Structure 1
Amino acid sequence: MGTETQRLQQEIKHLIKQLGWSQKRFARELHGMSDEADCSTMKEVGQYVERVKKQLTRSTVAPELLEAYLQQLQSHQDFAKLDVFIPYFVPDNRLPKEFVAGMKTISGILDE
Structure 2
Amino acid sequence: MRKRQMGTKSETTRLQQEIKQLIDELGWKQNLIAEKIYYEENDTDNEDELRRFQERFKKELSRGTTKPERLKKYLSMIPDLPGAEGIDLVSNKFVPTGAISDALVTGLKAISKEIDTEIRIYKSTPEIK
- The RMSD of aligned alpha carbons is 2.5
> Aligned partners of 1:5, 1:45: CA distance in 2, in Å?
24
TM-score w.r.t. length of structure 2: 0.61
Bigger proportion of residues as helix = 1
Partner amino acid, structure 2, of 1:23: Q
Q: In the TM superposition, what is the alpha-carbon distance from 1:3 to its structure 2 partner?
A: 0.3
Pairwise mapping of residues 25-64 of structure 1 onto structure 2 (< 5 A)?
25-34=32-41, 36=42, 38-64=43-69
Is 40-49 or 72-81 further displaced after alignment? 72-81
Is 48-57 or 71-80 further displaced after alignment? 71-80
SS of 2:84 mapped into structure 1: helix
Give yes or no for the alignment of 1:10 onto 2:17: yes
* Equivalent of residue 76 in structure 2, options 65, 71, 75: 71
Consecutive unaligned residues of structure 2, counting only runs of 5 or more, are 1-8, 94-98, 110-129
> Aligned partners of 1:83, 1:7: CA distance in 2, in Å?
17
Partner amino acid, structure 1, of 2:20: K
Quick one: structure 1 residues 7 and 46, their matched pair in 2 at CA, closer, same or farther if it must change by over 3 Å?
same
Percent same amino acid at aligned positions? Answer: 36
Consecutive unaligned residues of structure 1, counting only runs of 5 or more, are 89-107
Structure number with bigger Rg: 2
Quick one: structure 1 residues 48 and 84, their matched pair in 2 at CA, closer, same or farther if it must change by over 3 Å?
same
TM-score w.r.t. length of structure 1: 0.70
